[in-house]
């Protein structure tokens, strides 16, 4: 079988995928240890029976609803390749908005307040993607990252090693084990309403429930964060969170109720308000 034939067969087999051609190419490129773009050039090359058998196995896993990131064990986020396992959420492009806004806030604090070292807490860090991306972009940052899941923190530690960054990882139920105060608290918390999880696509339903389930209205964890964050921010410190666009008004009202000011919302790549910030 040639590479071109394998791609055609893989695409036809992935009947449950939204992007069967892309998925087939990603899986085959991983097996052959080449870049996806190289597959077209190598189209007439033959693949071994061993590689074909492995390819069929991976296609079957994908067809059964397992996401590509779990199958490959990696996912690109903010230009970096992250190790991913079923213990963590798969980092998504929309969350890059959270990183971009955090970087803007950090640089503004460095310039306006002349701070040499900004202290950042990445709450609900999961794979460590947000905190590591920030540290990678601004090496002088002091970054703490916490999660309630020890398994998720193990993935985050692997990613710290992979990208050679030093971050303090903490096993904590939100702020329970967090000490000290920060210039910026950034978080992508669970914000999907419990009843909505069953309506998500199969591959998302297989991600950790702990990192998805935001309670009855999706705001349970977010409201806890808002109420407790004030005690963990320095004066003029900023709270920055990702949430569902439909939750923004409720979040803004709660932030103002708790004494936060200067609430602002930011759009994601699809043009929806995905991130919200407020200042102590």
- From 106-120, 226-240, 264-278, the region with the lowest mean pLDDT: 106-120
Q: Kind of pairing, strands 273-279 and 261-267?
A: antiparallel
Q: What is the pLDDT of residue 200?
A: 92
Residue 116 has pLDDT above 80, yes or no: no
Print burial letters for 111-132: b (CB count within 10 Å at least 16), e (below 16).
eeeeeeebbbbbbbbbbbbbbb
Q: What is the pLDDT of residue 166?
A: 96
**Residue 113 in domain:** yes
Tell me the CATH number at 187.
3.40.50.150
**Residue 210 in domain:** yes
Q: Taking the CA atoms of the chain, what radius of gyration do you get in angstroms?
A: 21
Residue 114 has pLDDT above 90, yes or no: no
**Residue 69 in domain:** no
- Choosing from 43, 64, 85, the residue where a domain stops is 64
User: Are residues 223 and 185 both part of a single domain?
Assistant: yes
- The model's pTM is 0.92
| Distance of alpha carbon 222 from alpha carbon 219, whole angstroms | 5
Q: What angle do CA 269, 275, 276 make, to 5 degrees?
A: 150
Per-residue pLDDT reduced to its tens digit, 16-46: 788 999 999 999 999 999 999 999 899 899 9
- Choosing from 38, 64, 90, the residue where a domain stops is 64
Q: Are residues 198 and 166 in contact, defined by beta-carbon separation less than 8 angstroms? A: no
Structural domain tally of the chain?
2
Per-residue pLDDT reduced to its tens digit, 134-189: 999 999 999 999 999 999 999 999 999 999 999 999 999 999 999 999 999 999 99
Domain hosting 114: range is 77-279
């Amino acid at each position: 079988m040639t590479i071109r034939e394998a791609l055609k067969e893989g695409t036809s087999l992935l009947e449950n995928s939204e992007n069967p051609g892309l998925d087939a190419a990603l899986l085959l490129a991983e097996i052959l240890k080449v870049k996806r773009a190289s597959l077209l050039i190598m189209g007439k090359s033959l693949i071994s029976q061993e590689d074909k058998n492995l390819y069929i196995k991976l296609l079957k896993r994908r067809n059964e609803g397992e996401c590509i990131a779990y199958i490959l064990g990696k996912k690109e986020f903010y230009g970096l390749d992250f190790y991913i396992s079923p213990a963590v959420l798969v980092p998504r492009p929309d969350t890059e908005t959270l990183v971009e806004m955090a970087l803007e806030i950090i640089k503004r604090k460095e310039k306006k307040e002349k701070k040499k070292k900004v202290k950042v807490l990445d709450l609900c860090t999961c794979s460590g993607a947000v905190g590591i991306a920030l540290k990678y972009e601004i090496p002088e940052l002091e970054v703490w990252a916490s999660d309630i899941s020890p398994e998720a923190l193990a993935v985050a530690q692997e990613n710290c090693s992979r990208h050679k960054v030093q971050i303090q990882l903490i096993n904590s139920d939100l702020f329970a084990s967090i000490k000290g105060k920060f210039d910026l608290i950034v978080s992508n918390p669970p914000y999907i309403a419990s009843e909505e999880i069953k309506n998500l696509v199969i591959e998302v339903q297989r991600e950790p429930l702990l990192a998805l389930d935001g309670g009855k209205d999706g705001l349970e964890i977010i409201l806890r964060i808002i109420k407790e964050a004030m005690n963990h921010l320095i004066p003029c410190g900023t709270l920055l969170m990702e949430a569902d666009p439909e939750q923004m008004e409720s979040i803004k009202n709660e932030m103002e109720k708790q004494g936060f000011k200067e609430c602002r919302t930011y759009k994601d790549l699809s043009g929806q308000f995905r991130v919200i910030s407020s200042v102590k």
